[in-house]
Structure 1
Amino acid sequence: MAEEQQSPKSKIADREEQILAFWQKDNTFKKTLEKKSPKGEFVFYDGPPFATGLPHYGHVLPSTIKDVIPRFKTMQGYHVPRKWGWDCHGLPVENIVEKELGFKSKKDIVDHGVEKFNASAKETVMRYADDWRKIIPRLGRWVDMVNDYRTMDTSYTESVWWSFKTLHDKGLVYEGFKSMHLCPRCETTLSNFEVTQGYKELTDTSVFVTFPIDGLANTFAVAWTTTPWTLPGNVALAVNPELQYAFVCITASNAPELPAGNTYIVGADEAILKRVFGKESFQFDPSAKVGSFTWNGQAVSFEAKKGVLGKTLIGQRYRPLFDYYAKEGALQNRDHGWKIYGGSFVTESDGTGIVHIAPAFGEDDYNLAIQEKLPFVQHVATNGTFKQEVTDFAGLSAKPKGNPKETDEKVAMHLKERGNLLLAVPFTHQYPHCWRCETPLLNFSAPSWFVKVSSMREKLVAENKKVTWVPKDVGEFRFGNWLAEAKDWAVSRSRFWGAPIPAWRCQRCRAVRVVGSIDELRKGTTERITKVTLLRHGESMKNRENIMDDSTDKYPLTHDGKKRAKESAERIQKEGGADVIFASPMLRTKETAEIVGKHLGMPVSIEEGLREVDSGDWDEKKIRDPSVKEAEEAYYVLPSEQHYVTPRGGTGESWKGVEERIMEAFYRLLEKHKGESVLLVTHEGPIIYLEKALKGLSLEETSRLFKEIQFESYAEPITLYFDHVTNKLVDLHRPYIDDVLLSCEDCAKKTGAGRDLMRRVSEVFDCWYESGSMPFAQAHYPFNHSKRSSFNPEHGWLTKSSGFPADFIAEGLDQTRGWFYSLLVLGTALFDVSPFKSVVVNGIILAENGAKMSKRLKNYPDPLEVVEKYGADSLRWYLLSSPVVHGEDLRFSEKGVDEVSKKIFGRLDNVLAFYLLYADSSGTTRYTLHATHVLDVWIMTRLNQLILGVTDALEKYELDKAVRPIGEFIDDLSTWYLRRSRDRIKSDDLDERLHSLATLRYTLHTLAKVMAPFSPFFAEYLFDNVKSKSEKVKSESVHLEEWPSAGKVDEIKIKEMEEVRKIVSLGLEARTKVSIRVRQPLGKLKVKSDILMSSPRKRGSSLSPDLLQLIQDEVNVKDVVIDPTIATDVALDTTLTPALMEEGQFRELVRTVQEMRKKLGLNPRDEAELQVKAEGLSVRFIEQFEQELSSIASLRNVVRAETLTEGGLQQSFTADEIVLGLRLSKE
């Protein structure tokens, strides 16, 4: 089968790619970050996506929203850093790896090896990162994807550790045992908001089960459950102490399942009786307490005797349905089991009024078990299978993914065979599934680490009320109500690929220690971890003069260099100081080390291995010195591998040699100072190649290090931690962190021996905790003490916070119980304030038929194909102008994108083309803005109105309300202003032509700025084409421009033009009704005064002559009069005089000649020759209009001829009475 032909890339897509290439070459985005920002900082947080797949519409939409606001704020004069991030940990990544490795259970991972599994996860997590780095910019988004943050980075995890310890110290973290939801496939508990993301409709088997009462013959308590698989774990029954209960005695029965003489205890409410016994027919006399029903077609009579309160049943024993655990004498609290207890959670609304209690599988159950000291029976393992002691069901999955009710039905059948099943009925309900692997969850009591959100509810609700939510109801109701009922957050997961919970437990005394930093970890170990601080020397005269040199006695520090060294000394002391200091033998490094050593009160040792790179013949030469310039340039263009091994300056060192030298010194020095804090003062090159070796960087990544910000400033400390067991930098992931043992201070105090007694707990963090940490963790807070640190939450009378809180964030509706929630909880708990001020919440994009978008069904167009076809701007505009930007769902329609492409960008492109056609060909702007014509005045006030409206909407984050008026303005500009201004722009009157062009140019120039946040590509294209020659030098990009300020809006002018256009519309409609084409002039249009409604102009007053002239021109009438006596809104005088008919014929002639010009491909500046073959009256007609025709149709001359010259184009006019010939005029 032949391969499908891919649709060719559109012209608009080609143009966008050219603009993208310009931005990248020009570093335009970087320039927007570096330009002056008089309004200060605008803080934006970017929620991290997973890079385990390609971007889809769920990414395109929020990414577009996230691009609009920062662009707008940048143009307003704010500095808006936006840093990309990657979500790297958690079940989403683990599930992908498990599928690829063919694993079915957690045991498969353990058997495979955690180290190998996590290595695969690390490789997987950035699999599509390069694709994202291409696609996101192609969508028009500007964000720093080079200096990105990754939740798996050691620095990020260290900040997560700090937050956890801080919460622990505040009493907001505890280790507990609670009933939660467990994914049996992933074998980990989930947080309550993770559970809400996976509800699906299921039809389960619910059962009414009979429990034999001890001491009462043939008497049974009846309980209802939708989870029959939990019944082997039953240890109690619960009743509501204040509810009435009935003893339902079967007085007569033909149904063998319900023999006469049996008594059933259920709630006394008639609705319960009918629920339990009325599956077929049911009759009941409440006064006599007797009734009847049919059971499997057999008649049964009953009497509801002994109405009692539930509290009288409390303490009554019953016989277990299953005795797997009841027969165990060693079962803790066994004597408290298999009794009836009181519980206020029992209601009459469903079931029987009696609840079966299995403490291991329900929140109310577990709480009652704690209260009453019930035995704890957990007959299902964390993998969801019945344990071996449950002999009748051993090994069965409690809730099989393929058939969730299979085991329930087997339990029901077992109970039926034993006579304990009263009834089994289907029950359809919303059931929670794992948000990642879609396995049905189990309610399961398990240990976990919790953040005590319940103690923060009031504060969270109060902080949320300060946030601006778009739409408002999402924050007020959906999110606000969730916060008001927020439960403690289970933040630990019994998994592998995640930031480890930093808690260590003593194996002897069980004391727990929570660690908040790697340095704290180092100090708790026994010479396992060494802290290494790398410090480049301060600025020296060598650096200032750009000299290559490795001599030991030249080039001291400059004044600035000494100052920076002192600042670094203070920072190093703040970060814990150092135990030993080693320095390169060069003068600049020795001076730097001595300044630091003096501040710390420590001596400095010289280490040859830390010296500067030997540049051979280039030593003592300035960079780019004429004598070495050619050799230098040749060296720097060598391929990476060759550059790495080639000696500098011919006889000097290669970078490979530098790397080997400094690594030898590094290992040697650290071997002597295990577990200590070591400061190495050296040079830029040796530091970079030390990092290359320790971090396993590629040569390309190493090359980028030279350009990174950490080396833009001298004497900037870099802290690393080295693990002497792995012989690598400290990796906080499992399994390495699991082997780090800490000393127990409690045991040391009590027994004098506490070394290596504490082992880390096995859990890792919920990945939502990690993503919620991004405001501070991306900046490595509080460990990054650099002046360039982007995050400082401290604020007061004399200090101002930076990087916190965010002025703006945006994500989808699903994040109300995801990222938004984790951000708010952690931000408020740590810093006592909401970490964001404004939120835009987008809805969900569905397929065109309203179904969920599905790769399998291919029910939606690929976003990249849409971009190739219509351009990224069209897709952005389509999304931004829809209700999806304020929380509503959108049925995606490719036709909608196509319509945007044509009606917005196609239409505006035509306006631009017309402008360029008539603009001064020299490219200068000698047009002075002088808006006096009624159309110019109107379009200028409309432009001011647009600027005000768009600005106001953007300030309120109402994106659709910001976008739609631009489309309306473009329609006004194209279909009214330009339509009515064409003749002025073509006019022979120079002033009129230039003034109209000046207005059009200014309008397009300003419109480009207004459109820039929404359609960055087209705005750039438009701006570039209407820039003056001088602007092309100083105005590189529309995105470096200031946001336009609005002038005065004249509402009267706008209203008047609305009236004019309304009258025109009515006039043209009247023409259509009488079938008179618009090119045929008419004598008069009467307008009823009642339709002139503008205010504050007096109702019914006449329009100005200029406005009336617009009506005349557009409707093509000789006069417009106001007449209050006409019956309709407008009335046309349809009398056609000979003069009017002749003028109409002339207009047809003009149209014909213009069409001929178009067919010949002539532009307005091309002069043509028109040959006319005519006889009789037609000759007079041509002569009468010859001059006017020549002017309008750009004709050099009109020639009458008996025979038309060959060449050009020939066409008949007015039923062959006139034959026209048109060709390009020759000079």
Structure 2
Amino acid sequence: MADETLPEKRDWRDTVFLPKTAFPMKAGLPQKEPAILAKWQADDLYAKLREARAGRSKFIFHDGPPYANGDIHIGHVLNKTLKDLAVRTQSLLGKDAPFVPGWDCHGLPIEWKVEEQYRKKKRNKDEVPPAEFRAECRAYAQHWVDVQSGQFQRLGILADWKKPYLTMSFEAEATIVSELTKFAESGQLYRGAKPVMWSPVEKTALAEAEIEYEDVVSTQIDVAFEIVESPIPELVGAHAVVWTTTPWTIPVNQAIAYGDGVDYSLTSLRDHDGRTLGRYLVATDLVSAFQDRVDPSLRGADAPELKGAWSIDRFVHGSDLAGSIARHPMHHLGGFFAKPRPLIPAPHVTTDAGTGLVHMAPDHGEEDFEACKAVGIDPVFAVEGDGRYREDWLWLGGQGSVINTKFNGPEGPILTDLREAGALLSAGDFKHSYPHSWRSKARVIYRCTPQWFVAMDRPLAHLPALSKSEQRWEGEGGNAAIDEEAHAGSPTLRELALQSIADTRFVPDKGRNRIGSMVEGRPDWVLSRQRAWGVPITLFVDRKTGKYLVDPEVNARIVAAVREKGVDAWTAGNAAFLLNGIHDDDGDIVVAARKVNGDWRHPDDFEQVTDILDVWFDSGCTHVFTLESGHWPEQRWPADLYLEGSDQHRGWFQSSLLESCGTRGRAPYDTVLTHGFTMDSKGMKMSKSLGNTVNPLDLMKETGADILRLWVASVDFTEDHRIGKEILAGVSDSYRKIRNTFRYLLGALEGFEEAERITDVSEMPELERYMLALLSKLDADLREAVAAYDFNGYARALGDFCNNDLSAFYFDIRKDCLYCEAYGSVKRRSYRSVLDALFHALVRWFAPVLVFTTEEVWATRYPDAQSVHLEEWPVLPDAADARLLEIWATYRALREQVTAEIEPMRRDKVIGSSLEARVAIGLPDDADRPMLSSDELAELFIVSEVMIDTGRVEHGPAVVAHRVDYKKCGRCWRHLPEVVEDGDLCDRCTEVVA
């Protein structure tokens, strides 16, 4: 019998409507992103966005200036991306949200770098003409501005990069000078000698924001000051004991402070024969700790025989010490050291540590300064700017530096001399937190020097308008021209600042307490620095009176000169013109006098201040020349948002607040958002020395900027957060899922035309209506996240929607519909209409985060369209339906139950696909029957058949799954009763193919 060949089954794959797209799954971001960026730059995308949003409601973000010094680091990435997210989400909402980037360009770090270059060339900075040195600083800053600008643009930050603000631009420098004159003219500025944070290494005063604290080991000492006069006879000849961890301040001691409410004891040390070796006055609560510290060997006594040989002679109340006088241990040197050291009351004396007696050096402590000032003791300025005692100082003149641990140590000259004088009672190590310069990392000191200050607690009533002939002067100490009584009802700068803090929105809210406590307790604002690269303090001081000139005409000339020539306009050679406005016929400046109110004003009569302004004053003025100047007409004052790291509560947030309150009476911002700091993957602070830094420039070359941007959006930036290889690998995985969502959408929408769209939502299947209801809920959630600046919540909601609601649910269910339904069926048209709505929503919502990827997605579907970043928040179908969301939450829970029942069957290879399963669902008698039909439930569960039984269970639903007995459709792969043989078509597929 001849063999009979069975007919081959038809391959129906060519009849299945599979998605088609050129959008690749492999991202290739490092290669694609630069090309996209180049197109944005060529098209001037930022300008187009300004044009598109012109006339819309404003959202004003003011960029805090990074320092123009070095490549960007991961902290810059976090900071600038968050700013970009804030601006882009507001722009997406349709607002006109300009982004003017800026840089801080003056100050010590740049000087330091230029000086380093000089040292390499064996040049001395002091021998270089100041204008030449400043020009090199300017060039150095401009170089890094250009470098960082390119790096920020590579990160995808959309801003006015063609026209950033720079604090070193002549216009900015002129504005800073103009703001300074406002403080001078309103009486808030004064010159005084107060202890300020001083860096002996950098030879300049430092602001609180330039200080960081580190644990150090210092030498603690107990020093005996002999009491030579006292209303308490027993104290004469005894020693008042002071304790300090800064031995270098002993050579500048001028008094000893006690607490009025503190009880003291006179304790004696005796040898084994009962002879008194010393009598010491210390706080009663600290006697035991003091006795434990005392080392008799420092006095040449036999330590073993003296152990425990202490007694209390009498008790003394603090207030009874008034009128007592001691003498300095080095009194034999004469001069300054021979002067009496009075015992004075001071409120800061406590019994927490030490001896309860505090040695007073008004040159080197704020509290010391105030306590001594109250009794007429003035600073002596013994320590030079480099930390050495001045040459003519009787003890240790010309020696130092005072921050050197050896100089202060047991074998250093201070302790050696005190030991020889018989005044050193103890010396030992003491670990504590100590202030350091954040630039040089060296210890700083409090040092009293003449500085310029803005008063925090002076009434802020502005001066009246002056006639042309009037001259207004402000005296040293700040009170000469202010009628305090008349202005008693006016607020102080501190009060205005605290009120503004109360009126400002803080994200997170804890920032309010942080900055509030800092402003509450801060001293007067030290404005002056003794350096070269910065905006000068443009004041003329009368040499006879010590008062500075307040003349609006002079100030106007100074501002105009700086606007024309920058900070180099403030030179001694220009003083005559700035004072009097006189030139000769050739335009040269004439050094001449001018008669004013009967007096001749001559340049020689005035000291031209040579100090520069604290760079925090520079950056505190940026709101003026960026938001008010008119150079960026799209801006307005005040800003809606300032956004920086939490360290800026004592930095830029505060300097901007004080500058604005002092000149405008309120903060320059309505909302302040702060972020935490980026740690390594183990939660440790990043450090080059530890080798745990992450270089964002390398990461952009390896994985692309969008991965970094997604990382920023994925962390809780309000707290300290982490980055590392494993964390970035997780971010990359999230990115792949998002990219795959877009790839599916692009493929599934291939060929979609407007005629295919179903616009009446009520005509759609319930699943489509449910997805649109979910989309409406997501819309509301995202709007709420934008309003709260919750970018982490924004990105998480989008990611969860893509993963949980689309990929694992909607796309999975409707694959059969997309592949196998007829092109013109209502179900398929509804599905594709919803996919189109999803596409337009998701590509816009993701655009602020994945700036390059969404542009690629948009261009893939609309190659001739404008940039996706010109689009606005999506307009969704009106499909919000809370009841539908509730019903489908039940369906989805049931779907999970079905999946859990089927999965063991797949694992045990009872079935290969869920389509090989039939499901029976048992419901209680009183259960509401599902609104979906059995066929719809089968599609929802991706099984071939669903049967509903009522009354079979007491509590339901109960799910039972079995292998189906039906044959498999060769096209849709469902197992259905009408399929006769495997490979034949079901009724639906037969109709579609026909």
After TM superposition, the score normalised by the length of structure 2 is 0.83
Q: 1:774 to 1:494 in 2, by over 3 A?
A: same
Number of the residue aligned with 2:363: 360
Q: 1:303 to 1:1073 in 2, by over 3 A?
A: same
Q: Determine the C-alpha separation between the residues in 2 that align with 1:1077 and 1:280.
A: 87
Number of the residue aligned with 1:179: 195
Q: Determine the C-alpha separation between the residues in 1 that align with 2:596 and 2:177.
A: 25
What SS does the aligned partner of 2:61 have? coil
Number of the residue aligned with 1:1069: 900
Is 1:432–1:441's contact at 8 Å kept on the other side of the alignment?
yes
Please tell me whether residue 35 in structure 1 is matched to residue 42 in structure 2.
Answer: no
Is 1:253–1:301's contact at 8 Å kept on the other side of the alignment?
yes
Please tell me whether residue 307 in structure 1 is matched to residue 141 in structure 2.
Answer: no
Number of the residue aligned with 1:466: 503
Deviation, structure 1 residue 864: 2.4
Number of the residue aligned with 1:202: 216
Number of the residue aligned with 1:761: 609
State the Cα deviation string for residues 279-323 of structure 1 (Å, max 9, x = none): 4999xxxxxxxxxx9966842322212212223222222221224
Q: 1:1196 to 1:929 in 2, by over 3 A?
A: closer
Deviation, structure 1 residue 973: 1.4
Which stretch of structure 1 is more off in the superposition, 737-746 or 875-884?
Answer: 737-746
2:340 pairs, out of 337, 340, 348, with 337
Q: 1:378 to 1:111 in 2, by over 3 A?
A: same
Paired residue type of 1:934: E
Q: Determine the C-alpha separation between the residues in 2 that align with 1:828 and 1:1048.
A: 48
What SS does the aligned partner of 2:983 have? helix
What SS does the aligned partner of 1:453 have? coil
Number of the residue aligned with 2:251: 232
Paired residue type of 1:487: P
Number of the residue aligned with 1:152: 168
Is 1:232–1:321's contact at 8 Å kept on the other side of the alignment?
no
What SS does the aligned partner of 2:267 have? strand
1:276 pairs, out of 276, 282, 290, with 290
Paired residue type of 2:788: K
Please tell me whether residue 322 in structure 1 is matched to residue 330 in structure 2.
Answer: yes
Paired residue type of 1:478: R
Q: 1:986 to 1:310 in 2, by over 3 A?
A: same
Deviation, structure 1 residue 1189: 9.4
1:87-486 counterparts in 2 under 5 A?
87-102=104-119, 109-195=125-211, 198-214=212-228, 219-253=238-272, 260-269=276-285, 272-279=286-293, 298-323=306-331, 327-328=334-335, 337-374=340-377, 376-390=379-393, 393-400=396-403, 406=409, 409-454=412-457, 455-475=492-512, 477-486=513-522
What SS does the aligned partner of 2:767 have? helix
State the Cα deviation string for residues 522-553 of structure 1 (Å, max 9, x = none): 69xxxxx9x8xxxxxxxxxxxxxxxxxxxxxx
Q: Determine the C-alpha separation between the residues in 2 that align with 1:472 and 1:980.
A: 44
Is 2:331–2:338's contact at 8 Å kept on the other side of the alignment?
no
Q: Determine the C-alpha separation between the residues in 2 that align with 1:399 and 1:296.
A: 35
Number of the residue aligned with 1:859: 692
Q: 1:522 to 1:369 in 2, by over 3 A?
A: closer
Number of the residue aligned with 2:655: 822
State the Cα deviation string for residues 809-862 of structure 1 (Å, max 9, x = none): 211111111110011111111111210011211110111122222334442332
Q: Determine the C-alpha separation between the residues in 1 that align with 2:160 and 2:610.
A: 35
Deviation, structure 1 residue 1115: 5.7
Q: Determine the C-alpha separation between the residues in 2 that align with 1:101 and 1:740.
A: 34
Q: 1:302 to 1:720 in 2, by over 3 A?
A: closer
Please tell me whether residue 958 in structure 1 is matched to residue 975 in structure 2.
Answer: no
What SS does the aligned partner of 1:848 have? coil
Deviation, structure 1 residue 456: 1.8
Q: 1:446 to 1:73 in 2, by over 3 A?
A: same
What SS does the aligned partner of 1:278 have? helix
Q: 1:354 to 1:519 in 2, by over 3 A?
A: closer
Q: 1:739 to 1:855 in 2, by over 3 A?
A: farther
Is 1:114–1:734's contact at 8 Å kept on the other side of the alignment?
no
Please tell me whether residue 1105 in structure 1 is matched to residue 936 in structure 2.
Answer: no
Deviation, structure 1 residue 1194: 15
Is 1:244–1:309's contact at 8 Å kept on the other side of the alignment?
yes
Is 2:382–2:393's contact at 8 Å kept on the other side of the alignment?
yes
Q: Determine the C-alpha separation between the residues in 2 that align with 1:25 and 1:739.
A: 50
Q: 1:1134 to 1:1065 in 2, by over 3 A?
A: closer
Q: 1:259 to 1:853 in 2, by over 3 A?
A: farther
Please tell me whether residue 947 in structure 1 is matched to residue 757 in structure 2.
Answer: no
Gaps of 5+ in 2: 1-25, 230-234, 458-491, 581-591
Is 1:491–1:769's contact at 8 Å kept on the other side of the alignment?
yes
What SS does the aligned partner of 1:424 have? strand
1:1057 pairs, out of 874, 888, 891, with 888
Number of the residue aligned with 1:714: none
Deviation, structure 1 residue 445: 1.1
Deviation, structure 1 residue 495: 0.9
Q: Determine the C-alpha separation between the residues in 1 that align with 2:275 and 2:132.
A: 63
Identical columns (%): 24
Paired residue type of 1:319: R
Which stretch of structure 1 is more off in the superposition, 925-934 or 1181-1190?
Answer: 1181-1190
Q: Determine the C-alpha separation between the residues in 1 that align with 2:402 and 2:338.
A: 31
What SS does the aligned partner of 2:280 have? strand
Paired residue type of 1:1187: D
Q: 1:126 to 1:474 in 2, by over 3 A?
A: same
Alignment coverage as a number of residue pairs? 904
Q: 1:259 to 1:390 in 2, by over 3 A?
A: farther
Number of the residue aligned with 2:943: 1116
Paired residue type of 1:1133: V
Is 2:238–2:278's contact at 8 Å kept on the other side of the alignment?
yes
State the Cα deviation string for residues 858-908 of structure 1 (Å, max 9, x = none): 423321232233332221122122111x2x0111133333333332x4223
Q: 1:918 to 1:327 in 2, by over 3 A?
A: closer
What SS does the aligned partner of 1:124 have? helix
Is 1:236–1:338's contact at 8 Å kept on the other side of the alignment?
yes
Please tell me whether residue 731 in structure 1 is matched to residue 568 in structure 2.
Answer: yes
Is 2:294–2:425's contact at 8 Å kept on the other side of the alignment?
no
What SS does the aligned partner of 1:961 have? helix
2:579 pairs, out of 728, 742, 746, with 742
Q: Determine the C-alpha separation between the residues in 1 that align with 2:251 and 2:121.
A: 26
Is 2:822–2:992's contact at 8 Å kept on the other side of the alignment?
no
Number of the residue aligned with 1:490: 526
Deviation, structure 1 residue 30: 1.0
Number of the residue aligned with 2:232: none
Q: Determine the C-alpha separation between the residues in 1 that align with 2:543 and 2:349.
A: 42
Q: Determine the C-alpha separation between the residues in 2 that align with 1:462 and 1:378.
A: 38
Which stretch of structure 1 is more off in the superposition, 220-229 or 1004-1013?
Answer: 1004-1013
1:994 pairs, out of 805, 829, 832, with 829
Which stretch of structure 1 is more off in the superposition, 1050-1059 or 166-175?
Answer: 1050-1059
Q: Determine the C-alpha separation between the residues in 2 that align with 1:840 and 1:299.
A: 60
RMSD: 3.8
Is 1:187–1:383's contact at 8 Å kept on the other side of the alignment?
yes
Number of the residue aligned with 1:881: 714
Please tell me whether residue 1008 in structure 1 is matched to residue 843 in structure 2.
Answer: yes
Give the structure with higher Rg (CA): 1
Please tell me whether residue 895 in structure 1 is matched to residue 726 in structure 2.
Answer: yes
Is 1:434–1:440's contact at 8 Å kept on the other side of the alignment?
yes
Number of the residue aligned with 2:620: 772
Paired residue type of 1:1086: I
What SS does the aligned partner of 2:653 have? helix
